[in-house]
């Protein structure tokens, strides 16, 4: 047995069970499935080709949706002069503790320190001030795919790293209503994409004051529930009001000839989504990928005696070609390893469908299809195989979503007393819905008592009339609480 | 007339003629066509949506070609610990004067300074050392799309900026031959893509020692000739030998069980290509875009009296839909401006085909197509229009390439004496081909005398036997000299 095989065997078996230690399980999956690796730079990860291929698929779907809704891409500088970041008071307070500073360049100390962008409102606002003159120049609907840097003390691949990749939309509008409509439209789009692309159900709602973006009027978020019952903030959409417009002097001549400040929004999702996918769908055997973002949707594993290269491989290659032509992303595992080893490796890597083909299958003109999600196996005729596979991939995508919805529903409870609340947070974790009075005091005390934070307050629900779970004052909303990432 | 129209009118007319001042013409085109803008960060530009859309199309074609040739994408950290950059002696000598340093992060001074990547050999080499164990792990064929930072004293949008966007391929191989084959394959691929995507003819060849990449064994480049007779290095492919493998300890167990260092390559093209496109094809009216990378391949301009919205627009919209369905990127200019103003603006923006449609055209069931490159206009029947447009776009792409080849040929001369050489460099600029002995002394002196540098030495030509143009010693190669960007 080669050194390579030794490594690989270890590779497959070394995953900590999810139930034993979820956090270790997560790290094991990330590293063993070769999604990401630690780098020599503290807090920064390397996104390996398999992980990056997932990101490329996420980008493809999100980018298409942004363009379909009228947005265009652009690119703004990585560096922001410190004085620009300082223009919006809340913004700098929120981000200054987390920024990295460039102090030297080209062999000289810089006159003004440069901030490595933690987010781009400041630099983009500065440019919008140059570009916008009249109401005819509005709206500006620009998105940027970029890297950003936020110094983090505790990091975890994909979930929280010093540098990460994201998209950040930045828009400017004539009226407050338009900005709010854009903010909500993006929130809905994020929700739809989370469902259709990531098979990840999310709760859409408004953040509390204490959790909103530094400098925003209002922040909305999508929140997903991970397999360990903790919530993950998976995307945010901010209504910036005129805060940045005033700080950066983004004015325009309005239809009535008066000079007005624009109304802004910003919104983003990041490589964190990959972490969300892992923790929503994964199991003890490793990753489970939704077909829409699986780099390989099907892995073909030839089965057979020693002469499989002669007897099985030619037919396997034909099937591969047929699937490729049908638009299926497929790989054929030709390595000289035993099938069982290959099964375990591709399960670890989360490939939605395994296609086994051996001499007997060829005789019967069929193949065996094994689903990663349910582990169901079924013989399927080679005639019309591509159509069958495509149909099955849709079924898997749908099934993953439904399973996640069921999980969330069984981990969401409504409580009316603080005792119940505390009990819920100590017991089986998940979302707890209850009334909240809107005061930061109650929010803080609840967090201190239970570690739970308000994830958000859904827009489409009205308070049930029950009082604040902690102080019994009239509730402003039903809030979704959870322990979170 | 609105304020907007005033601005836009000025916008169109304010381009400096190419013949008057090429450098100003270039900057005028970049800004007036809204490709890029200056930012408040010294030496850094903003790539505006129209310029970024060109970059996205370039990326699409290049990325597809990289994947077709077996490469995968990944992402490595932006920051490189200073000690890692210092590992390869020539590499650090080459890049240290140009780097930006992060010295503070998260409110504290860092123990070790971080370099903002000027290129990623050091960080990627460090990771490859972890990932490669056996010859079975080779080759590694990874590409990264990223931003990089090199402090520049004199900058020009797209051509030389402190931060720029690029792709950098980094590969590791078992043998020296494989690494050389990869280096050359990429050089050929760059040449083909320059032709087919950018309609830009290039000279493929090897760089002199003085011009090679810091740390490489050999550097190859593609060199294009700009409209002012200066050469532009448009892409480079480096054979790194075992230099980085030795510096970063990238070893593997070979087939014969011995431990070997891998053989590396790296290669890249950047947003500089956009500058190359502008200066290869542009004219006094502005940008001329090759159809393959034109964000809009066709602009439809409705012509007619005041009631054109009723009489012409419905048919124009139908034609737009028809073209979109045929896979043509098309925009319809519905603004309330006169047609002549629209013509000038879309010429400035380099849209390959203008489609005019007025009441008389509708009567005759035809449209008028105006080519941006030749300015030819022709009436074309609405029947089969989409096919006709697609065919014409191919013709324009081809014609732009041929025009650029003709221009290069008429600006390339072969000389045999140093007097001739100097005369050539003083007169009409362009490429000058002549013998070179291989000495850095001659290369330097020629540069001091004439400002010309060796762009590269084509691989497919043998020295003609003539001696070095300066010292008359036997020539090692025919070198292509030019003044360059």
Q: Is A47 on the interface with B (CB under 8 A)?
A: yes
**pLDDT value of position A248:** 96
A residues 108..127 contacting B (CB < 8 A): 114, 116, 123, 126-127
ipTM: 0.95
- Closest CB to B104 among A77, A103, A146: A103
- Closest CB to B77 among A46, A107, A153: A46
Average pLDDT for A27-48: 96
**pLDDT value of position B25:** 97
Q: Of A433, A432, A449, nearest to A441 (Cα)?
A: A449
Contact A163 B77 (CB under 8 A): yes
Contact A41 B105 (CB under 8 A): no
What tokens does B91 get?
A: 């590499």
Whole-angstrom CA distances from B88 to A48, A242, B96, B129, B213 are: 24, 50, 11, 14, 12
What is the pLDDT confidence band of residue B77, given thresholds at 50, 70 and 90?
Answer: very high
Q: pLDDT digits over B395-431, tens only? A: 999 999 999 999 999 999 999 999 999 999 997 789 9
Residue A5 scores a pLDDT above 60: no
Q: Is B44 on the interface with A (CB under 8 A)?
A: yes
Average pLDDT for A439-455: 96
Q: What percent of chain A has pLDDT over 70?
A: 96
Contact A149 B7 (CB under 8 A): no
Residue A430 scores a pLDDT above 70: yes
Instruction: Tell the burial category of A239 from Cβ atoms under 10 Å away from its Cβ (0-12, 13-18, 19+).
Output: buried
Chain A hits for B52, Cβ within 8 Å: 72-75
Residue A477 phi, psi dihedral angles, 5° rounding: -165, 160
**pLDDT value of position A13:** 59
Nearest CA in chain A to B140: A49
Chain A hits for B253, Cβ within 8 Å: 3
3-state secondary structure of B149: strand
Chain A hits for B77, Cβ within 8 Å: 39, 41, 44-46, 163
How far is the C-alpha of B272 from the C-alpha of B224, rounded, in Å? Answer: 12
Chain A hits for B168, Cβ within 8 Å: none
In terms of pTM, does the model score above 0.90? yes
How far is the C-alpha of B82 from the C-alpha of B72, rounded, in Å? Answer: 27
Chain A hits for B107, Cβ within 8 Å: 96-97, 151
Residue A154, min C-alpha distance to chain B (Å): 12
Contact B105 A101 (CB under 8 A): yes
Q: pLDDT digits over B81-99, tens only? A: 999 999 988 888 889 899 9
Average pLDDT for B48-76: 98
Average pLDDT for A165-188: 98
Q: Which residue has the higher pLDDT, A462 or B145?
A: B145
Chain B hits for A56, Cβ within 8 Å: 73
- Closest CB to B56 among A41, A73, A78: A73
Chain A hits for B165, Cβ within 8 Å: 75
Residue A464 scores a pLDDT above 90: no
Q: Which residue has the higher pLDDT, B299 or B308?
A: B299
Interface test with B, best of A40, A81, A157 (most B CBs within 10 A): A40
Residue A151, min C-alpha distance to chain B (Å): 5
3-state secondary structure of B353: strand
- A475, A437 in Cβ contact below 8 A? yes
What is the pLDDT confidence band of residue B463, given thresholds at 50, 70 and 90?
Answer: low
Average pLDDT for B6-27: 77
Count of CB pairs separated by less than 8 Å, A with B: 175
Q: pLDDT digits over B353-386, tens only? A: 999 999 999 999 999 999 999 999 999 999 999 9
């Amino acid at each position: 047995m080669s050194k390579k095989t030794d490594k690989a065997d270890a590779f497959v078996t070394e995953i900590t069970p999810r139930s034993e230690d979820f956090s270790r399980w997560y790290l094991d999956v990330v590293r063993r499935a070769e999604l990401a690796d630690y780098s020599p730079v503290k807090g920064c990860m390397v996104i390996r080709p398999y992980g990056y291929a997932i990101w490329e698929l996420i980008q493809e779907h999100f980018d298409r949706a942004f363009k379909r809704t009228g947005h265009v891409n652009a690119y703004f500088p990585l560096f922001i002069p410190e004085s620009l970041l300082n223009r919006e008071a809340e913004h700098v307070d929120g981000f200054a503790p987390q920024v990295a500073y460039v102090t030297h360049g080209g062999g000289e100390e810089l006159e003004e320190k440069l901030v490595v962008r933690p987010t781009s409102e400041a630099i983009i606002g500065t440019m919008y001030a140059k570009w916008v003159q009249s109401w005819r120049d509005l709206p500006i609907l620009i998105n940027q795919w970029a890297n950003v840097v936020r110094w983090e003390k505790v990091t975890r691949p994909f979930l929280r790293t010093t540098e990460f990749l994201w998209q950040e939309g930045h828009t400017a509008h004539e009226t407050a209503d338009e900005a709010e409509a854009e903010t909500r439209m993006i929130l809905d789009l994020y929700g739809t994409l989370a469902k259709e692309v990531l098979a990840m159900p999310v709760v859409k709602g408004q953040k509390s004051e204490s959790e909103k973006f530094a400098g925003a009027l209002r922040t909305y978020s999508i929140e997903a529930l991970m397999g360990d019952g903790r919530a993950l903030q998976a995307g945010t959409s901010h209504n910036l009001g005129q805060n940045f417009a005033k700080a950066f002097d983004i004015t325009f001549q309005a239809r009535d000839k008066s000079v007005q400040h624009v109304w802004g929004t910003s919104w983003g999702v990041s490589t964190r989504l990959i972490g969300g996918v892992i923790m929503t769908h994964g199991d003890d055997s490793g990753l489970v990928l939704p077909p829409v973002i699986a780099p390989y949707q099907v892995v073909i594993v030839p089965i057979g005696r020693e002469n499989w290269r002669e007897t099985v491989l030619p037919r396997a290659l034909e099937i591969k070609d047929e699937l490729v032509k049908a638009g299926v992303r497929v790989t054929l595992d030709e390595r000289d390893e035993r099938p069982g080893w290959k099964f375990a490796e591709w399960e670890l890597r989360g490939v939605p469908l395994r296609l086994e083909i051996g001499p007997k299958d060829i005789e019967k003109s069929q193949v065996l299809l094994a689903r990663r999600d349910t582990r169901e196996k079924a013989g399927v005729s080679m005639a019309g195989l591509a159509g069958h596979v495509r149909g099955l991939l849709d079924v898997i995508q749908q099934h993953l979503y439904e399973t996640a919805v069921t999980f969330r529903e069984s981990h969401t409870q409504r409580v009316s007393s603080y005792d119940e609340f505390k009990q819920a947070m100590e017991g089986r974790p998940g979302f707890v819905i209850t009334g909240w009075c809107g005061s930061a005091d109650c929010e803080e005390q609840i967090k201190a008592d239970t570690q739970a934070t308000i994830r958000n307050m859904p827009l489409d629900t009205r308070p049930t009339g029950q009082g604040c779970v902690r102080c019994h004052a009239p509730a402003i909303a039903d809030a979704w609480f959870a322990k979170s990432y």
